[in-house]
Structure 1
Amino acid sequence: MTSRDGTPIAYRRSGRGRPVIVVGGAFSTAESSATLAGLLDRRFDVITYDRRGRGASGDTAPYAVEREIEDLAALIAEAGGTASVCGVSSGAALALEAAAAGLPISQLAVYEPPYGSDAADLGAAGAYRERLAALLAADRRGDAVELFLSRAGTPPEAIAVMRQAPVWHAMTALAHTLAYDDAVMGTGLVPTERLRVTRTRAMVTEGGCSPAPLRWAAKAVADALPRGRHRTLTGQTHEVTPQVLAPVLEDFFAA
């Protein structure tokens, strides 16, 4: 599929029924969402895709969040003109931005958009953005990945193990898109005023075992959305299990 600015966007489509588009977060591609798609496509027409700069999709400079919203708009048009959307992590923030921009999203489900809550979070987000830009400009892709993982709370010993694993190559290949996810997050704080203009029926979910800031952010997003509801998935963390998330999405999207 070709987006509005001419960028090719690769996607996968499976199943039958009402269309559902899955928007992944950092380091994700269509393949990353394959398990979730396989659980949902028994009842829905599921579209997963490589966000621009990832996988088989193109990457037209300069990057802008508006271009990613246009990518999602093109996918919705491909799906028939309207679709439900599920966003995870920074993909949830992108889905929220798309809904606030007025895209024809019939129902919106987001899992743990990683917003902050106060001035300290705002300062940390600014420092991260500056450091990330410097590392990417110097082509220090591995260090950029490590910076992101450290900010997300990954212990240093775990990062050291990951650096020796096959997954590290895939992550460093997508390091430049960390700047895209950061741009999607805006200031890094919950965009309360922007969310209040959203009229889409929405569900915001969180993991019961996730860190308190992520859980707070999910509740704040749900409270800001005029038609938002909030739900906690017991025993889940930020790396939500598809087999747990899928039935919740199925019930919500089928209503």
Structure 2
Amino acid sequence: MAPDASAPIETGHTTSADGTTIGWRRLGTGPAIVVVHGALATGEQWLPVARALADEYTMFLVDRRGRPLSGNAEDYDLATEIADVKAVLAVAGPGATLFGHSYGGIVSAATAAAGADISALVLYEPPLPVAGPLPGSLMEAVAAAIAGGDNNRALSIFMSDIIHAPDTAVAALRQIPMWAEWAALAPVWVRELRVTDGLIDDLDRFTAIQQRTLLLLGADSPQHQIDATGFFAKHVPDTTLVEFPGQEHFAHVTEPAAVADAIRRFLRQS
């Protein structure tokens, strides 16, 4: 199905449990899909996928806390993000599909495991620390770069040493407008790295997921993403795996139609 570029986009807000305003974009008609973006993103990054699904689904693109449509608060942990997603799910209505990418996949998986009223779960490479936490030196280097006002340096470390993107890919990414947007978010996503690291002793929480789950994986993604996806495939009882040939962690940017098609096929199986 061709993307519907004319689908009107509505911006709305709801209030999370701690009083923080959480914003979202809504477009399309039909059953709801709530999209929870990753660390290097806002909900706007998911508009190409949303437009490709808007003919059949109502898409809610969350701006997680600390992003332009949402507020923020000093206190932060995974439970805070779960409450944020539940607040948007309350707007979307019972039985929505919950879709999370990268760190947003961790948030979505934790929300599902906590008993959210959703009909299905879609996870695109949630970076569970199945091989152990990040080296402390990496976290210190990222934090030091941010403290020194060098968000570009922090993002380079994130890309090269945490996501393990090749040097050529990092150099290319530095030339696109999105790089500046990612760098600007550095003070927000560094706390998300710390939460991810803290899950090393709490992986069992994700074995409580009971909803049928679609796992999306770039065929060329690094091994730690493959291993984390494998954790869900092993420990969640009803999973379907779809790989994107020639893609890595950002197929929703490079091949949004393929991501939309995978979601559509999965949901039509219900």
| TM-score strictly above 0.5 | yes
Give, as a single letter, the amino acid of the residue that structure 1 aligns with 2:98: V
Structure 2 counterparts to residues 11-30 of structure 1, below 5 A: 11-30=24-43
Match of 2:152 among 114, 120, 142: 142
Q: Does 1:238 align with 2:249?
A: yes
Give yes or no for contact 2:27–2:58 (8 Å, CA) kept in 1. yes
Q: Which amino acid aligns with 1:253?
A: L
| In structure 1, distance between residues paired with 2:106 and 2:191 | 12
Cα deviation per residue 1:100-141 (whole Å; 9 max; x = unaligned)? 1222222001111223443xx43x354433333333334332
Select 1:101's aligned residue among 82, 99, 114: 114
- Aligned partner of 1:128 in structure 2 is 138
The code of the aligned residue for 1:133 comes to A
Residue 175 of structure 1 is matched in structure 2 by 186
**Contact between 1:11 and 1:47, CA under 8 Å: does it hold in 2?**
yes
Structure 1 runs not aligned, ≥5 long: none
Q: Distance in 2 between matches of 1:163 and 1:208?
A: 23
- CA offsets 1:141-178 (integer angstroms, 9 cap, x no match): 22221221122223445545655654343222111122
Matches for 1:18-57 after TM superposition, within 5 Å: 18-57=31-70
- 2:140 alignment partner AA: E
Task: Give the TM-score normalised by structure 1.
Answer: 0.88
Contact 2:94 2:118 in 1 (8 A): no
* 1: CA distance, partners of 2:33 / 2:172: 36
CA distance in 2, matches of 1:190, 1:250: 35
CA distance in 2, matches of 1:225, 1:95: 14
Q: What is the CA-CA distance between 1:194 and the residue it aligns to? A: 1.5
Conserved 8 A contact 1:65-1:180: no
TM-score by length of 2: 0.84
Q: 1:150 to 1:81 in 2, by over 3 A?
A: same
Partner of 1:250: 264
Q: Is the 8 A contact 1:83 1:104 kept in 2?
A: yes
Distance 1:226 1:82 in 2: 19
Instruction: Please state whether the residue corresponding to 2:143 is helix, strand or coil.
Output: helix
CA distance in 1, matches of 2:141, 2:115: 33
Unpaired runs of 5+ in structure 2? 1-13
What does residue 111 of structure 1 align with?
124
In 2, are the aligned partners of 1:25 and 1:181 still within 8 Å (CA)? Answer: no
